[in-house]
Amino acid sequence: MLQRVLNERAPATEERITETETRLGVRLPDRYRQHLLAHNGGRPEPSVYRAGRGWEAVQIFYAVDGEEHDDIVQVRNALRGRIPKEFLGVAEDSFGNVLCLGVAGPHLGHVYFWDHEREGGRRMSNMTLVAKSWDEFLGMLQDMPA
């Protein structure tokens, strides 16, 4: 379970989150909004979770008003047309894969692993459900098993 987030950035404010939602054209799920208010990006500890048949690790959570590589809006713009529009990239691993949060439709609030190496197939063929809620996902984070 998430114990802390190492971050040099200040937590997001309600005002900045609302402005970001306007720029994105989506309403973020409440529990994810609360996460941004508390942490706004950073590296989680522990960071490992089980996805499919293997272990994955979160390198960084994206932020409101982040840098180019970890800003929620800039990452969405960079991945436009590659990740289904009802998803928002919220974190990444060290290999360029992205954790996506459903922001509309039947996937609202669900967390998916987007595998960039399997990109190009049919819609969502490179996406794997990781958790049915943001809290469930955070609860999955652990140290790498021995």
Secondary structure, 3-state, 60-105:
EECECCCCCCCEHHHHHHHHECCECCCEEEEEECCCCCEEEEECCH
Whole-prediction pTM: 0.92
Structural domain boundaries, residue 93: 4-140
Classify residue 73: in a domain, yes or no.
yes
Classify residue 11: in a domain, yes or no.
yes
Cα–Cα distance for residue pair 31/25, rounded to 1 Å: 18
Domain count, the chain: 1
Q: What is the CATH number of the domain that holds 45?
A: 3.40.1580.10
Q: What is the pLDDT along the chain (146 residues), one digit of tens a residue?
A: 778 888 888 899 999 999 999 999 999 999 999 999 999 999 999 999 987 778 899 999 999 988 888 999 999 999 998 999 999 999 999 888 999 999 999 999 999 999 988 887 777 888 999 999 999 999 999 998 77
Classify residue 146: in a domain, yes or no.
no
Classify residue 100: in a domain, yes or no.
yes
